[in-house]
Structure 1
Amino acid sequence: MSYVPKTIGEVILEHINRTTFLPAMQREYVWDTDGIEKLFDSIMGNYPISSFLFWKVREEKKNLWTAYKFFSDFNKEAPHNEEANFAGINQDIYLVLDGQQRLTSLFIGLKGSYRYFYYSWKKTRLYLNLFKEPKRSDNPEELTYEFAFRENDQPSQKDSRPQYWYLVGDILNFSSASAARSDIRTKLSGTDSQLIENAVVLIEELHSRLFTEKLINYYEERSDDSDKVVEVFIRANTGGKRLEYSDILLSTATAKWRTLNARDEIHDFTDDVNDIGSGYNLGKDFVLKGALYLTDSLPIQYRVKNFTRPNLEKIENNWDSIKSNLRDTVRLISRFGFGDKNLISTLALLPIAFYLKKADKKNLVDSTQKDDVRNQLVIQKWLAIALLKNAFGGSSDTTLKNLQDVLNAQSDFSVFPYAAINEKLGIESGFTDAEINNLLTTAYGSRYSYLILSLLYPDRDWRDNIYHEDHIFPKSSFALKGLKAQGISEEQIVNYQRYFNTVINLQLLTANENLEKNATPFNEWLPTRDTNFRRRHSLPDMDCYGFDKFMDFVEKRRILIAEKLKQIAM
Structure 2
Amino acid sequence: MKISQIIDKIDEKQLFIPAFQREYVWKRKNAKDLVSSLIQDYPTGTMLTWETNYPPELKGEHKYDERQGAVKLILDGQQRITTLYMLMTGNIPPYYKKHEILVDIRNLYVNVQTLVLEYYKITIMQNDPLWVNITDIFQGKIRYRDVIHQLEVNLDGERVEREKSDLIDDNFRAIEKIKDRDFQEQIIPPKASLKEAIDIFYIVNASGVNLTDAELALAQISGYWPEARDLFKTKLVQLEKDGYVFKLDFIVYVLLGILHNMGSKLDKLHSQDNKENIKKAWKRLDEDVLDYVFNVLKSQAYIDHTKEVNSVYAFVPIIVYAYNKGSKKLTQIEIKKVIKWFYYSQIRQRYVSQLQQKLDKDIGIVAKDENPFDKLLSIIAAERPLEISKDEFVGIGISHALWGLMNFYFKSKGAICFTTGINIRKNMGKKYELEWDHIFPYSLLKLEGYNRNNRVKYSLAQEITNRAILTQLGNRKKSNHLAEGYLEDTSIHFPDALEKQCIPQDKELWKMENFELFLEKRRILLAKELNYFLNNITETNYESLDMDIVEMIMSGENSQVEFKTTMRYDMRENKVNKKLEQVILKTLAAFSNGQGGTLIMGVTDEQDIIGLENDYKTLKDANKDEFELHLRNLINQNYGVDFATNNIEITFPEVNETEICVVEIKQGLRPVYTEITDKNGGKSKRFYVRSGNSSQEIDITEVAQYINQRFETVV
Q: Same fold (TM over 0.5)?
A: yes
1:82 aligns with 2:62: yes
Q: 1:316 pairs with 270, 279, 299, which one?
A: 279
1:22 aligns with 2:17: yes
SS at match of 2:17: strand
Amino acid at match of 1:98: G
Alpha-carbon displacement from aligned partner over 1:241-284 (angstroms, at most 9, x marks no partner)? xx665555444334423xx721321222222223322x62x211
Alpha-carbon displacement from aligned partner over 1:500-550 (angstroms, at most 9, x marks no partner)? 431333334566665664444343324315554454333334263441333
Mapped to 2, the partners of 1:495 and 1:7 lie a distance apart of: 53
Mapped to 1, the partners of 2:356 and 2:278 lie a distance apart of: 18
Worse-matched range after superposition: 493-502 or 327-336: 493-502
Mapped to 2, the partners of 1:308 and 1:423 lie a distance apart of: 35
Q: Which residue of 2 aligns with 1:453?
A: 406
Q: Which residue of 1 aligns with 2:465?
A: 504
Question: Which structure would you say has the larger RCO, counting Cα contacts within 8 Å and 6 or more residues apart?
Answer: 1
Amino acid at match of 2:465: I
Q: Which residue of 1 aligns with 2:48?
A: 55
SS at match of 2:235: helix
Q: Which residue of 2 aligns with 1:394?
A: 353
Percent sequence identity is 17
Alpha-carbon displacement from aligned partner over 1:449-506 (angstroms, at most 9, x marks no partner)? 522423654842476567543333333431326999xxxxxxxx99975634313333
Q: 2:224 pairs with 221, 238, 256, which one?
A: 256
Higher Rg of the two aligned structures: 1
1:101 aligns with 2:82: yes
Kept in 2, the 8 Å contact 1:422–1:429? The answer is no
Gap runs ≥5 in structure 2? 27-37, 99-128, 142-176, 190-195, 415-423, 428-432, 541-715
Q: 2:321 pairs with 342, 352, 355, which one?
A: 355
Question: Cα 1:326–1:436, aligned 2, differ >3 Å: closer, same or farther?
Answer: farther
The TM-score normalised by the length of structure 1 is 0.58
Aligned residues: CA RMSD: 5.2
Q: 2:514 pairs with 549, 554, 561, which one?
A: 549
Q: Which residue of 2 aligns with 1:423?
A: 378
SS at match of 1:55: strand
Q: 1:274 pairs with 232, 240, 248, which one?
A: 240
SS at match of 1:442: coil
SS at match of 1:446: coil
Q: Which residue of 2 aligns with 1:477?
A: 444
Instruction: Measure how far apart 1:316 and its partner are.
Output: 0.6
SS at match of 1:470: strand
Worse-matched range after superposition: 263-272 or 514-523: 514-523
Kept in 1, the 8 Å contact 2:441–2:483? The answer is yes
Instruction: Measure how far apart 1:145 and its partner are.
Output: 8.7
Amino acid at match of 1:501: Q
Mapped to 1, the partners of 2:94 and 2:459 lie a distance apart of: 61
Worse-matched range after superposition: 100-109 or 523-532: 100-109
Mapped to 1, the partners of 2:520 and 2:96 lie a distance apart of: 65
SS at match of 1:544: helix
SS at match of 1:68: coil
Q: Which residue of 2 aligns with 1:403?
A: 362
Mapped to 2, the partners of 1:274 and 1:476 lie a distance apart of: 34
Q: Which residue of 2 aligns with 1:229?
A: 201
Amino acid at match of 1:419: D
Question: Cα 1:57–1:424, aligned 2, differ >3 Å: closer, same or farther?
Answer: farther
Amino acid at match of 1:287: I
Instruction: Measure how far apart 1:560 and its partner are.
Output: 2.1
Amino acid at match of 1:454: N
1:286 aligns with 2:250: yes
Q: Which residue of 2 aligns with 1:199?
A: none
Mapped to 2, the partners of 1:114 and 1:315 lie a distance apart of: 26
Kept in 2, the 8 Å contact 1:98–1:233? The answer is no
Amino acid at match of 1:22: I
Kept in 2, the 8 Å contact 1:55–1:95? The answer is yes
Kept in 1, the 8 Å contact 2:261–2:367? The answer is no
Amino acid at match of 1:252: Q
Q: Which residue of 1 aligns with 2:343?
A: 384
Amino acid at match of 2:502: S
SS at match of 2:310: coil
Q: Which residue of 1 aligns with 2:391?
A: 437
Worse-matched range after superposition: 7-16 or 559-568: 7-16
Amino acid at match of 1:431: L
SS at match of 1:294: helix
Kept in 2, the 8 Å contact 1:8–1:214? The answer is yes
Question: Cα 1:541–1:83, aligned 2, differ >3 Å: closer, same or farther?
Answer: same
Question: Cα 1:352–1:463, aligned 2, differ >3 Å: closer, same or farther?
Answer: farther
Question: Cα 1:362–1:481, aligned 2, differ >3 Å: closer, same or farther?
Answer: same
SS at match of 1:479: helix
Amino acid at match of 1:521: L
Instruction: Measure how far apart 1:292 and its partner are.
Output: 2.3
Q: Which residue of 2 aligns with 1:539?
A: 503
